[in-house]
Amino acid sequence: MSDNKHSNHVILATHNNLRYERSLPIQWGAKDPLKRGPVVASITDPKSRNAIGTHSGSYTVYRALSIASGQFASQHRPDLQNTESPVKIGPFPQWHDPKKIVSLDPWGLDPQTNFGPLYKKGYDIRPTIAVTQAHLQIPEIHDALRAGRLKPDGKIVKENMDIFVTKVAIDPVWYLPGIAEKLKVEEGELRRILFQETGGMYPELITRPDLKVMLPPIGSSTAYIFGNAKDLANPKVELTCRVHDECNGSDVFGSDICTCRPYLMYGIEDAARTAQRGGVGIIVYYRKEGRALGEVTKFLVYNARKRQKGGDTAANYFLRTECVAGVEDARFQEFMPDCLHLFGIQKIHNLHSMSNMKYDAIVGSGIKVVNRISIPAELIPADAQVEMEAKKAAGYFTPEKKKSKQALKKVKGRNIAE
Ligand SMILES: [Zn+2]
């Protein structure tokens, strides 16, 4: 055994003697944080746990590997001194509605402040949200400055072309009854399917129906705020927002088969411009790669699109995804607005998204949307015309006229070898 002394004794939360011993009840949506109760998902004290799963989303598995290799002491408790948010966020009325936010824990922001007395009693409560500030250096923003579309103001856009932002990392925390309700499924059925489809990863989904909160091993979300974060909750302040689902190939590597990076960069430019004229901007980045089907599926679909008879056309865009993946889109947008409710958002003046699923989810969650902004035509890469025209034909928001079926066949991408 290593110096880190990880115990060989496996403790399942299903053991009867662990029930309720030190675990605090969670009253989801309660106004007072101490009444709401902290989500205790750390594993240093199994008797205090009141949630299924543990912290850090998908990185929980890397943590396990690090512990297994002897690098990481499993009993380590974070020293949270000086880690608190540099700006005040919340509480907002949305935090107190058990049906409004179901996929993150607003009280997971600065728990050392919200649950101070419980730390003194030895509870190992971990943050699930963290806020910090940064400068962004982005080539497209530099282009916008050179073209005069943006001007430095010394505050939002610095003289050296940096953009000042507040960024917020948000780990997933699911309130299972609320998740089930949004999916329109019985909670028991949801728990059974989650258990089965992860290969039996969390037995407590079945054996501990009293545990209502789960920290799923999935990717997090990140919000980038341009301007004053507290203005997000003020419906009178102009708000520009983009809700962006991860597309690593385009976002990071500049792959030209889709419009993800150009649309994201345009969102950042417009968010900064809004903040400069006294408004506020927010970009929320969700780790839902390839419509939440993942990159392997996505690349298979690209090949199938390019090799099909007649080539890669807008007419067959969605069909090919469905053939490979079994569904054309595995994202479920009903929880997406949770990240907006975290900041108390009530009204979005400029929504950068062409997706009706996203628009419907945002409006359905009680947020007003004034304008919908589609990507400017000149920012669409040539090979991405296939995706863009297919989406517009399928009813994605656009101020333009839809193309006919015949015309869609003519919108073609490159061949596989090109
Ligand atoms: Zn993309």
Confidence of residue 10 (pLDDT cuts 50, 70, 90): low
Chain mean pLDDT for the chain = 91
DSSP-derived secondary structure for 206-238: HH-TT--EEE-SS--EEEEEES-GGGGG-TTS-
Ligand 1 center to 246 CA (angstroms): 8
pTM listed for this prediction: 0.91
Out of 224-233, 251-260, 291-300, 317-326, which region has the weakest mean confidence (pLDDT)?
A: 317-326
Rounded distance, CA 72 to CA 286, Å? 29
Q: What is the pLDDT of residues 321-374, one digit of tens each?
A: 888 888 877 778 999 999 999 999 999 999 999 999 999 999 999 999 999 999
Q: Which of 261, 329, 338, 372 is catalytic?
A: 329
- Neighbouring CB atoms inside 10 A of 86's CB total 9
Residue 58 pLDDT > 70, yes or no? Answer: yes
Ligand 1 center to 218 CA (angstroms): 20
- Measure Cα distances from 255 to 164, 192, 262, 314 in Å: 27, 39, 11, 18
Which conformational region is residue 287 in: left (phi greater than 0), alpha (psi within -120 to 50 degrees), or beta?
Answer: beta
The average pLDDT across 307-326 equals 82
Ligand 1 center to 263 CA (angstroms): 10
Ligand 1 center to 271 CA (angstroms): 20
Residue 4 pLDDT > 80, yes or no? Answer: no
Q: What is the pLDDT of residues 160-177, one digit of tens each?
A: 999 999 999 999 999 999
- Residue 399, token pair as written in the block: 């101020």
More confident residue, 297 or 92: 92
Ligand 1 center to 35 CA (angstroms): 43
Pick the closest to residue 263 from 243, 286, 238, 292 (CA basis). Answer: 243
- Residue 29's contacts (CB-CB under 8 Å, 6 or more residues apart) are 36, 95, 96, 97, 98, 99, 100
pLDDT score for 260: 93
Does the annotation mark 45 as catalytic? no
Residue 2 pLDDT > 50, yes or no? Answer: no
More confident residue, 393 or 101: 101
- Residue 332's contacts (CB-CB under 8 Å, 6 or more residues apart) are 182, 183, 292
Q: Which of 36, 208, 331, 372 is catalytic?
A: 331
The average pLDDT across 154-163 equals 97
pLDDT score for 276: 98
Ligand 1 center to 301 CA (angstroms): 13
The average pLDDT across 27-51 equals 95
pLDDT above 70: percentage of residues in the chain? 95
Rounded distance, CA 307 to CA 305, Å? 6
Does the annotation mark 331 as catalytic? yes
pLDDT score for 3: 42
- Neighbouring CB atoms inside 10 A of 168's CB total 24
